[in-house]
Amino acid sequence: MSRGLRFNVFRYNPEDGDSVPHSDTFFLDETQSMSLFIALTRIREDQDSSLQFDFCCRAGICGACAMMINGRPGLACHTLTKDLPNEITLLPLPTFKLIGDLSVDSGTWFRSTHEKLESWIHTDKIFNPQAEEERMDNALAEDIYELERCIECGCCTAGCGTVNMREDFMGAVALNRIARFMLDPRDERSEREYFEVVGTDEGIFGCMGLTGCEDVCPKHLPLQKQLGVLRRKMAWSAVKHWFRFR
């Protein structure tokens, strides 16, 4: 027999002056292989067409459906109801601007972060579209690809204790991005230049090592390993700079 599921869903439209934050309750009968995305879609189609939540790919690639699921950040399309109790509480991700109900504006946050990090290849080479693509060692390419798997869903940001206490902290997703460019031999920035971007309390030295980011990452990225490597590199860069100018 299928279970009866109770959904407690956060509701609030900041654009509506009459709207106040509250929780609405919905009931569904669980079906085989039901995900939270399927459940929310059924609620919106059959019970309340005004319910706001984001989705795009439905395959754990776009990151749009990230939300707080029983107090833990996760993707609605990847989360099966059979893995949850029969009472499910859904909230929007914290730290991001609320659009409405379960929908948040993570795009503006990520765009401003990438601009601050200058997360693109820095090189003085003039691009030649006719030239052969630069070759790279396979092992190095795989290491870079491992960090490129980030889908920018915002789960790690929502699960970070430092980000939730301090708006100026970059968070694991930003530091992971910098670690990716530090591996790339095509990027000509020096360690000192990288230090100027992330070698501060707002960057790598603000991380408290609580591992919340890696615990909730839906792509299981090695975030803590990369944060540790980046912290050692930035600390060594600071030591070398101190000895050079003392």
Domain boundaries, the chain: 4-104, 118-245
| pLDDT for 241 | 61
| pLDDT for 58 | 87
Q: What is the pLDDT of residues 82-106, one digit of tens each?
A: 999 999 999 999 999 999 999 999 9
| pLDDT for 134 | 85
| pLDDT for 242 | 58
What's the whole-number mean pLDDT along residues 175-181? 93
For domain 4-104, say whether CATH 3.10.20.30 is its number.
yes
Tokens of 121: 């290849």
Long-range CB contacts (within 8 A, 24+) of 79-83: 79/35, 79/36, 80/33, 80/34, 80/35, 80/36, 81/5, 81/30, 81/34, 81/35, 81/36, 81/39, 82/30, 82/34
| pLDDT for 45 | 96
| pLDDT for 220 | 94
CATH number of 118-245: 1.10.1060.10
**pTM metric for this prediction:** 0.89
Alpha helices in the chain (DSSP H): 36-46, 106-117, 138-148, 155-158, 161-165, 172-183, 191-198, 212-216, 223-245
What's the whole-number mean pLDDT along residues 153-182? 93
4-104 and 118-245 in the same fold: no
